[in-house]
């Protein structure tokens, strides 16, 4: 028996492409959020260190 053509290869390829795009977008958003938080923590730590009086 001869096999017919593969089914849904076009749809599967498009679906995979869209999922990869979505996952990449989510990863970028996660990295940006982490960088913002890191900058904010550094800023708050610096402000905290500047507010403390220097004891002789």
DSSP class of 13 = H
Percent of the chain with pLDDT over 70: 89
Listing DSSP states for 9-51 in one string gives HHHHHHHHHHHHHHHHHHHHHHHHHHHHHHHHHHHHHHHHHHH
How confident is the model over 26-44, as pLDDT tens digits? 999 999 999 999 999 999 9
Chain length of the chain: 56
* CA–CA separation, 43 and 21 (whole Å): 33
Tokens coding 8? 């849904």
């Amino acid at each position: 028996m001869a096999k017919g053509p593969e089914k849904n290869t076009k749809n599967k390829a498009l679906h995979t492409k869209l999922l990869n795009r979505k996952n990449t977008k989510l990863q970028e958003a996660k990295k940006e959020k982490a960088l913002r938080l890191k900058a904010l923590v550094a800023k708050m730590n610096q402000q905290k260190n500047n507010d403390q009086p220097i004891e002789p």
